[in-house]
């Protein structure tokens, strides 16, 4: 079972070279396009996480990366947690 990471966590993805800062959950591409296996595909897939490059952050509104928990190779930093963020994490972790 996957355990969602808090916003603010920094991860490295499988096949990734750049660190990513998690900024959100349960996202779908606004234009329904994604890159999978180095190919652009049309999709309505909902991804576990949305992230931006670290340490740069948001440098352009069209540079956000979406990925799933199984794509994470390494957690480099775990973000800040509160009782409210823990409640959200419980909800996310209980979804199938």
Structure confidence by residue, pLDDT tens digits, 15-66? 889 999 999 999 887 776 676 777 777 878 889 999 999 999 998 877 788 8
Residue 26, domain extent? 10-94
Residue 39 domain-assigned (yes or no): yes
Residue 55 domain-assigned (yes or no): yes
Express each pLDDT in 58-96 by its tens digit.
988 777 888 999 999 999 999 999 999 999 988 888 875
Residue 1 has pLDDT above 60, yes or no: no
Question: Is 5 in contact with 79 (CB distance < 8 Å)?
Answer: yes
Question: Is 48 in contact with 37 (CB distance < 8 Å)?
Answer: no
Residue 1 domain-assigned (yes or no): no
- What local confidence, expressed as pLDDT, does residue 42 receive? 81
Question: Is 81 in contact with 92 (CB distance < 8 Å)?
Answer: no
Q: How many domains does the chain have?
A: 1
Residue 3 domain-assigned (yes or no): no
């Amino acid at each position: 079972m996957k355990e969602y990471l808090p916003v603010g966590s920094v991860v490295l993805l499988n096949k990734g070279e750049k660190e990513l800062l998690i900024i959100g959950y349960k996202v779908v591409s606004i234009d329904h396009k994604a890159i999978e296996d180095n190919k652009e595909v049309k999709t309505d897939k909902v991804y576990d996480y949305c992230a931006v490059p670290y340490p740069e952050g948001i440098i352009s509104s069209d540079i956000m990366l979406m990925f799933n928990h199984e794509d994470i190779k390494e957690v480099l930093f775990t973000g800040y947690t509160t009782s409210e963020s823990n409640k959200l994490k419980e909800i996310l972790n209980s979804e199938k």
